[in-house]
Structure 1
Amino acid sequence: MSGRIAEERPSVSIRLTRRNTRIRIPPKRAPSGKQAISLALTQLTAEQQTVIELRIIQGYSVAETAGLMNKQEVAVRVMQHRALHHLAAIMLMIHINGFLAG
């Protein structure tokens, strides 16, 4: 019976911002590990991807990241916060999608 439910289930959608940004994940087995992170990162804006790359992956400080992106430090902190919030929501949807499909 669980296989039948997974086949009939529509894609998962989540509202991330007040601007009605929606992330759609197809109703098939969700990716795991690096694939899930890569999928989630593609859902972010280019600037959000850059701030995650510089701050989280490469380990630059807020000041260094601000200089590289030609932004104020407060803007980098806010952008990082929002990007991480979006990533968490997207990863949750990927996890739920995989749980329901599998």
Structure 2
Amino acid sequence: NAFRIEHSLSNACRRGARVAVTRGTTSAQVEQKVQSHCAKLLGVAETDVTVVTSLNGLDNTEIGPAVQGDEIMVSVSLPYSKASVGFFSSWFSEATLSSACIMERE
């Protein structure tokens, strides 16, 4: 089950990165896309999913002004305890599942 969740986070990151590289897209739009995708696939609350966008290696930077060739990274994380992984979730309550994807602005 943890593998399925990790795979879903990876897919959400890639979706977010594909949205992020489109000219004019904002960090808020990427965050909403990733959070809603995770909520739909994993059944978690959107507020449990943390999304960070980075522009040219600077975390939490607005990606809207990015130009062609700029590197945009989308990172997503979800507390293990919120991932509905059953009995073991209490054992790993401090752990976090995460994924990241980097693409260049088109």
With structure 2 as the length reference, what TM-score do the two structures score? 0.32
From the two aligned structures, give the one with the greater strand fraction: 2
Query: Whose relative contact order is higher, 1 or 2, with alpha carbons under 8 Å and at least 6 apart?
Result: 1
- Relative to its length, the structure with more helix (as a share) is 1
Normalised by the size of structure 1, how large is the TM-score? Answer: 0.33
